[in-house]
Amino acid sequence: AVSAVESGVRRAMLRRRTSASTASAPKADAGSPPSRGRKRRSSKSPDGNNEEGFVHPALLLGFLAALLLVARWSVKFNLPAALPADAPMELFSEDRALAHARALADDIGVRVVGTAGVEAAERYVAAAAEALASEARATRPDLDVEFLVHRPTGSFRLNFLNHDIANAYTNLTNVAVRVRARKPAGTRFEPRRKKSAVLLNAHFDTTLGSPGGADCASCVGILLEQLRVLIHPNSNPPLSPIIFLLNGGEETFMQAAHGFVAHHPWADEPGAVINVEATGTSGPDVLFRETGGWPAELYMKHTPRPVATATVRDLVRFANLPVDTDFSVFRDPTFENGNLPGVDIASMLDGYSYHTDRDVVGRIRKGSIQAYGENVMRATEAFAAKLAILDEETETKERVPTEPGRGGAFFDVFGTRGVVVGNRAV
């Protein structure tokens, strides 16, 4: 009898367990196909627990290491071979550009506004530019080349660290060369057009105590070498006028740039600007500010090694960082001949030497100036073609001014491809 009772209790307990497990199991949808006994796969973490979507730390570390290696390559080694001084004359040569930089930084040295050093630099730059202009007149009858030394005096309001200051200057120096395609003989002379030229700008003065090998003797060397290539007999005439501006007053808060936009005889001609700067002795050269929208797009599309970041522009705009170059004047909408679309470019590596006595030509990494010069040349050609199209479109009406802050985000993919996202006010 006892065994019969025990047997009944066991059967009752078994029924309760079976019904409980059946109730807790998920029910299949009415329209779903019957299960065929497949087992769900799961990955095991190192502690033995099953975790869905687990990635092994070694794979993640390997991926991050690969990204760092590619990024290092794009910054440190994605540079062209520097062409020597005896390279074909129709090509841009780093060694020829650096010869000008050595003459300014090594032979003359510190070139602070108002000192004998900047006067010696002015004489050197003016002589080099005038020699190229004279050579062009003798060898390029299809070009109209003009050379002009202008000494402006003026003043303007400058906002520095949220404080308005009056920035006045007297008898500064702007050395300029304008290159235009000459009309064929017998055709009607075409009057000078406003907003039709590409302005290329660099400065030859320095801050206190610095020989300015990179900032910005190298920039002057880049533009002088580009001018030499442009007037070479094998080079095509520019589609729009090109103005090379070599100014002697940037470190004193952009005084010479203001002297150009406010007082220069050619002030109303530029329709776009490319500002060539340096905040370090090594490349790559970085596009870090732009205005107008289309300049950044053309720069990223046509330069062989585009490197860019909109982060610096946004920090300057929203965090009020005191980062100013001549570009700040050229893009300023409060000036009659400002408000120019354009790009601000600078070499940024080795910032340890920036504005110090360590800024010497010998610290400039091989290939940096070659890459910088080739990028500026291709950008100049693209800007000239764009302005030629704009001239045709606006021949019978006034050019619409650039909206302040117009432009989108821009960046590069490891120095091989440029990306511009959007074209909105920022």
Which residues are designated catalytic? 250
- Rounded to a whole number of angstroms, the CA Rg of the chain reads 32
Token readout for 141 is 């009858």
Nearest-angstrom CA–CA distance, 264 and 258? 9
Strand partners, 7: none
Token readout for 172 is 């500064």
Nearest-angstrom CA–CA distance, 289 and 291? 7
CA distances from 68 to 78, 173, 198, 285, 317 (A): 14, 45, 38, 20, 29
Token readout for 400 is 């619409």
Query: How many CA atoms, within 13 angstroms, populate the side-chain half-sphere of residue 279?
Result: 13
Nearest-angstrom CA–CA distance, 166 and 343? 26
Strand partners, 419: 411
CB 329 within 8 A of CB 259: no
CA terminus-to-terminus distance, the chain: 92
The type of residue at 269 is E
Burial 264-302 (b: 16+ CB within 10 A, else e): bebbbbbbbbbbbbbbbbbbbbbbbbbbbbbbbbbbbeb
Whose tokens are 């679309």? That residue is 341
**C-alpha 110 chain-centroid distance:** 27
Q: How many residues does the chain have?
A: 426
Q: Find the DSSP H helices in 269-308.
A: 294-302
φ and ψ at residue 202, rounded to 5 degrees: -150, 160
Token readout for 269 is 């001609």
